[in-house]
Amino acid sequence: MLNILQSKEMPIENEQIIDYLKGGLKQPAQQQMEAQEMDNAMMQDAMEGLKYVNDTSRLEMIAREMNKTLHKKIANQKIKHKETRKWKDQSWILLAIATLLVIVVICYWVMKAFFR
Protein backbone atom coordinates (compact mmCIF):
# COMPACT_ATOMS: atom_id res chain seq x y z
CA MET A 1 0.00 0.00 0.00
CA LEU A 2 2.99 2.33 -0.15
CA ASN A 3 2.94 2.76 -3.92
CA ILE A 4 0.17 5.08 -5.06
CA LEU A 5 0.93 4.59 -8.72
CA GLN A 6 1.22 0.81 -8.49
CA SER A 7 -0.75 -1.17 -11.05
CA LYS A 8 -0.83 -4.88 -11.80
CA GLU A 9 0.30 -4.54 -15.39
CA MET A 10 2.92 -1.82 -14.78
CA PRO A 11 4.66 -2.16 -11.39
CA ILE A 12 6.55 1.01 -10.44
CA GLU A 13 8.39 1.54 -7.17
CA ASN A 14 8.51 4.83 -5.26
CA GLU A 15 12.29 4.87 -5.56
CA GLN A 16 12.02 4.59 -9.34
CA ILE A 17 9.67 7.58 -9.46
CA ILE A 18 11.94 9.65 -7.22
CA ASP A 19 14.99 8.77 -9.34
CA TYR A 20 13.05 9.76 -12.46
CA LEU A 21 12.06 13.11 -10.97
CA LYS A 22 15.63 13.79 -9.82
CA GLY A 23 16.92 12.88 -13.28
CA GLY A 24 18.91 9.90 -12.00
CA LEU A 25 17.39 7.18 -14.20
CA LYS A 26 19.31 5.76 -17.15
CA GLN A 27 17.93 6.32 -20.64
CA PRO A 28 16.09 2.96 -21.19
CA ALA A 29 14.46 3.10 -17.75
CA GLN A 30 13.54 6.75 -18.24
CA GLN A 31 11.93 6.02 -21.61
CA GLN A 32 10.01 3.11 -20.10
CA MET A 33 8.79 5.35 -17.28
CA GLU A 34 7.65 8.01 -19.77
CA ALA A 35 5.85 5.39 -21.89
CA GLN A 36 4.00 4.12 -18.81
CA GLU A 37 3.16 7.70 -17.85
CA MET A 38 1.58 8.31 -21.27
CA ASP A 39 -0.66 5.23 -20.84
CA ASN A 40 -1.96 6.13 -17.38
CA ALA A 41 -3.86 9.40 -16.78
CA MET A 42 -3.57 9.14 -12.98
CA MET A 43 0.17 8.66 -13.26
CA GLN A 44 0.43 11.70 -15.56
CA ASP A 45 -1.37 13.87 -13.01
CA ALA A 46 0.73 12.60 -10.11
CA MET A 47 4.02 13.03 -11.98
CA GLU A 48 3.00 16.53 -13.11
CA GLY A 49 2.34 17.54 -9.51
CA LEU A 50 5.53 15.95 -8.20
CA LYS A 51 7.64 17.77 -10.82
CA TYR A 52 6.85 21.08 -9.11
CA VAL A 53 8.31 20.00 -5.76
CA ASN A 54 11.50 22.01 -5.18
CA ASP A 55 12.88 19.98 -2.28
CA THR A 56 13.45 16.50 -3.73
CA SER A 57 14.18 15.08 -0.27
CA ARG A 58 10.49 15.56 0.53
CA LEU A 59 9.27 13.48 -2.43
CA GLU A 60 9.11 10.24 -0.43
CA MET A 61 7.05 11.92 2.31
CA ILE A 62 4.75 13.54 -0.25
CA ALA A 63 4.21 10.20 -2.01
CA ARG A 64 3.28 8.57 1.33
CA GLU A 65 0.89 11.39 2.20
CA MET A 66 -0.76 11.19 -1.22
CA ASN A 67 -1.11 7.44 -0.80
CA LYS A 68 -2.61 7.79 2.66
CA THR A 69 -5.08 10.43 1.48
CA LEU A 70 -6.06 8.35 -1.54
CA HIS A 71 -6.74 5.28 0.60
CA LYS A 72 -8.83 7.33 3.05
CA LYS A 73 -10.93 8.72 0.21
CA ILE A 74 -11.45 5.28 -1.28
CA ALA A 75 -12.43 3.83 2.11
CA ASN A 76 -14.91 6.69 2.70
CA GLN A 77 -16.42 6.23 -0.75
CA LYS A 78 -16.86 2.49 -0.14
CA ILE A 79 -18.63 3.15 3.16
CA LYS A 80 -20.93 5.76 1.58
CA HIS A 81 -21.65 3.46 -1.36
CA LYS A 82 -22.62 0.60 0.96
CA GLU A 83 -24.94 2.85 2.97
CA THR A 84 -26.57 4.25 -0.15
CA ARG A 85 -26.99 0.83 -1.69
CA LYS A 86 -28.50 -0.54 1.50
CA TRP A 87 -31.36 1.96 1.31
CA LYS A 88 -31.89 1.44 -2.41
CA ASP A 89 -32.16 -2.33 -1.94
CA GLN A 90 -34.61 -1.90 0.91
CA SER A 91 -37.24 -0.26 -1.31
CA TRP A 92 -37.21 -3.28 -3.65
CA ILE A 93 -37.62 -5.63 -0.70
CA LEU A 94 -40.60 -3.65 0.59
CA LEU A 95 -42.16 -3.64 -2.87
CA ALA A 96 -41.71 -7.42 -3.15
CA ILE A 97 -43.30 -8.02 0.27
CA ALA A 98 -46.24 -5.76 -0.57
CA THR A 99 -46.75 -7.56 -3.89
CA LEU A 100 -46.68 -10.96 -2.16
CA LEU A 101 -49.23 -9.79 0.41
CA VAL A 102 -51.55 -8.56 -2.35
CA ILE A 103 -51.23 -11.92 -4.15
CA VAL A 104 -51.97 -13.83 -0.93
CA VAL A 105 -55.07 -11.72 -0.25
CA ILE A 106 -56.32 -12.22 -3.82
CA CYS A 107 -55.73 -15.98 -3.57
CA TYR A 108 -57.64 -16.05 -0.26
CA TRP A 109 -60.64 -14.27 -1.84
CA VAL A 110 -60.59 -16.57 -4.87
CA MET A 111 -60.41 -19.69 -2.66
CA LYS A 112 -63.18 -18.39 -0.42
CA ALA A 113 -65.41 -17.61 -3.44
CA PHE A 114 -64.98 -21.06 -5.10
CA PHE A 115 -65.17 -23.26 -2.00
CA ARG A 116 -68.30 -21.93 -0.28
Render pLDDT for 68-98 as a digit per residue (tens, 0 to 9): 887 888 888 888 777 766 666 677 788 899 9
Q: What is the pLDDT of residues 63-75, one digit of tens each?
A: 778 778 878 888 8
Quick one: pLDDT at residue 2?
Answer: 43
Residue type, 10: M
Q: Specify the pTM.
A: 0.41
Higher per-residue confidence, 33 vs 12: 33
Annotated domain spans of the chain: 14-114
DSSP 54: S
